Every structure is written in C-alpha cells, then in structure tokens.
Amino acid sequence: MTTLEDCRALDAQDPLRSLRDQFTLPDGVIYLDGNSLGVLPKAAPARIAQVVAEEWGQGLIRSWNTASWFDLPQRLGDKVARLIGAAPGEVVCTDSTSVNLYKVLFAALSQQKDSGRKLVISERSNFPTDLYIAESLCRERGFTLKLIEANELQGPGSVLTDEVAVLMLTHVNYRTGAMHDMKATTAAAHAAGALTVWDLAHSAGAVPVALNESNADYAIGCGYKYLNGGPGAPAFVWVHTRHAGKFEQPLSGWWGHAAPFEFTPHYRPAPGVGRYLCGTQPIIALAGLECGLDTVLAAEAFDGGKGGMAALRAKSLALTDLFIALVEERCAGQGLSLVTPREHARRGSQVCLSRSEGAYAIVQALIARGVIGDYRAGDSQMPDILRFGFTPLYLGFEDVWNSVEHLVQVLEAGEWQREEFNRKNAVT
C-alpha cells in the first residue's frame, strides 16, 4: 500500500519539483486538465502587457521589425521543434489545429491525386474536428473518409491497402489516452504507399515525439494544451522537408508568399514550411504561446539540453502509474474501469476511467472539491469517461494522492448523486 508519506517522499526526491514555480495556480486547486487548457505561466501577464503597452503602444508599426514580430511564427516553431523531434526551420506556429489540419491534409491529398488512391483512413474515436475537416475535404477533393478502430491497422487484414492515400491519426487519443507507435505505424503506412498526417494535440509537451526519426510526412498540434499557450493559442504545423517545399497548401495568403512585401499580383509560395502561413499573425497570442513553450523547455535543464521531454516523460509515467495504482487500491468495487493502456509505450500523459453510471456527476463533484478533471461522453463503443490529465511540470505525487482521496470520498458517500452535480453545463 502506498501512503501519503510515500507520496511526500517522492515529491521531496523529485528533481523537477521547482518547475511548478513557473506557474500561477489558484489556491486549493489540483489541476488535472492541462490536456484541455494548460495553466497560466507566471511570465505571461507581464510579457503580454509589454507587447501591448510597449511593442504595440509605443513601437506601433515599427515593431514588425524592431520587436521581431515578423519572425515569431518561425522563431516559436523552432522551440516547438525541440519538443517533437523536428529540426529548426521545419515548424511554424500559426492558426488553429483545425485550420492547420485542413492545410496539411489538402497538401497530402494533392500529393496523392494522380495515384488512383481514394481513401483517407482515420479512427472513429479521433477528435471530432479532425473527422469533420477530413469529411469536408474528402467531399471537396473526391476522396472517401473511412473510419476504423485502432486494431484494424495491424496484421494480415490491415486496412492499409493500395487504395489508401492518407492515414490521418491522432498520436495520443484524446478520450482514452492510448498512444500509437508513430514509427511503426508510419512505416506500415509507407509500405502500403500511403502518407501520414499526425495530430499531436495530446502529444506535444506531453510525451516524447520523434517526427523525423519516425519518417512522418505531416504533423499539426495544439498550443493551448500541454504547451500552456493560453486559451485559443496558435497551433503549429510541421511538414517533412521532402514535402515542405513541393506541395501547396490551399490557403495561399500573403504571409506564405516567398516575398510578401513585393506585393506581386501572383502567388509564389515560400520555400519551406513558411508557405503554411496564411495571413497576418496574432502577435499578442503568439507572445502568450512563447511563455508557455518556455515553461516546457525549462525542463531541458534536466536532460542535458535535449528538449526536456525525456525528463518530463519519466515523471509523467510515475504520476500516472501512481494514480492508477491508488485508484485500484482505494476505489476497488466502485465500478471504475481503467480505459487507458497500462503499458507505458501505449500511454499518453492522461488516465481515463470509465463508469457505467455517474461519470459526469463524479467529475462535477470533484471539481466542486477543487480537483479539476473532465468528462467525455461515451458512445456505442465506449462508456462515459472521467479524464485526468497529468502535467509533470506542475503536479506532484501528493497531488495525486489528494485527488484519489477526494475521489474516494465522492464515491463512498455517494456525494455525486446530488442534484447539483447532475445538471449539464454548456462546456463539458
């Protein structure tokens, strides 16, 4: 049996403990929702105020040059690159995940347009926006979106046939926390002649990602989850250098032009991933994102300057292992089942539990106690889910203990059955 004292001892030995000081966290809150909206970096309010008051207020139009506004998407992209196994110059921070997916999927489909391949494959359990974007793009471009279960990718009956143009997957599933083997899956897709589009929304800043080593083709990801960039922060795009300069994305705005300030009447794409920019960038939001990226990169001090993800991953796995063990020890017989894979190689940085009844209300009762996780509705394949994201930057082992203690109390006293916890809010 693990005890509260054991958890405190783990915190005392935790080399990453000081990273928590980078954040402003509300008192009395254990935040297990960094996978939906990362917390506020302490540096962000002052930095954003400076961009507003000085760079905008005083510098005005000059700040495009004097404050380096113009380079922000690339400069921040280089920081993201360190976290996802990409090289400098291969990533830009811009637009939303949904919009970036539209751009890269369009480019991938253009690449396959003369191949005779007509299928785009994705998982039925993928995040809806990815499926919606793919659905409309397929309709527009004459492809068919085929939805599968993860286990249909492997083995002799694999759906990866010579009809597949693009395999579009989210690396870590938003609902279950299950993680794909990016390298093996990409290799299987390539062997079948398909291109890969990876969504890193629940991976960037959460788990080590090795895009180049995996030989992936296209990737996009989110700035406001584990990257702590703030609500609606710009997302990012990575394109393998073998494709980046060759294929055009459809939103050919002037920021993706090779020479935007020539103001020529015809589009000429920038040489590399810069062409995935569209219009004028949200400078204030990018400044917030940079503060978030710096909180993650601060972990580099603990792995010899290699991006910090190895150090963060070790702690993330220790936190999620502890949570699983404590839930199984202390909530046995309470109807909870573990949805997230136990195997480290298949687990992201979250733990999902399912329960046939009361998942929503249990999450609400926990939130009322200051333990903020979230709820995701089930479907015909899967019951309702209680989702807990573990961010090693600001969570400790005692936090894990306390969140399970609250869960025990909510379940044992039937607290979740109170009417107030069973009313649905607009945003779950």
The residues that are catalytic are: 127, 199, 224-225, 387
Q: Where are the beta strands (DSSP E) in 235-394?
A: 235-239, 337-338, 350-354, 371-372, 374-376, 385-389
The rounded distance, in Å, linking the Cα atoms of 69 and 133 is: 30
Q: Are 84 and 307 in contact, with CB atoms under 8 Å apart? A: no
* Residue closer to ligand PLP, measured from CB, 23 or 198: 198
Q: In angstroms, what CA-CA distances link 76 with 55, 153, 246?
A: 18, 34, 23
In whole angstroms, give the CA distance from residue 291 to residue 22. Answer: 10
User: How far is the C-alpha of 84 from the C-alpha of 235, rounded, in Å?
Assistant: 13
The window from 6-14, 152-160, 194-202, 393-401 that contacts ligand PLP (CB under 6 A) reads 194-202
Site string for ligand PLP, 204-223 (x = CB under 6 A): ------------------x-
> What is the C-alpha separation between 128 and 105, in angstroms, rounded?
15
Nearer to ligand PLP, 103 or 406 (CB): 103
Write down the least CB distance from residue 222 to ligand PLP, Å: 5
Could you tell me if 109 and 137 are in contact, meaning their C-beta atoms sit under 8 angstroms apart?
A: yes
Site for ligand PLP in 220-249 (CB under 6 A): 222
Output 97 or 185, the one with its CB closest to ligand PLP.
Answer: 97
Pick one of 63, 122, 170, 354: the residue that binds ligand PLP (CB under 6 A): 170
200 versus 244: smaller Cβ distance to ligand PLP:
200
197 is a site residue for ligand PLP (CB under 6 A)? no
Two structure tokens written together for 402? 């306390």
On whether the CB atoms of residues 188 and 161 are closer than 8 A, the answer is: no
- Quick note: the x/- pattern for ligand PLP over 78-117, rule CB under 6 A, is ------------------xxx-------------------
User: Given the rule CB under 6 A, which of 11-19, 196-204, 205-213, 364-372 is the region that contacts ligand PLP?
Assistant: 196-204
Binding site for ligand PLP (CB under 6 A): 96-98, 127, 129-130, 170, 174, 199, 201-202, 222
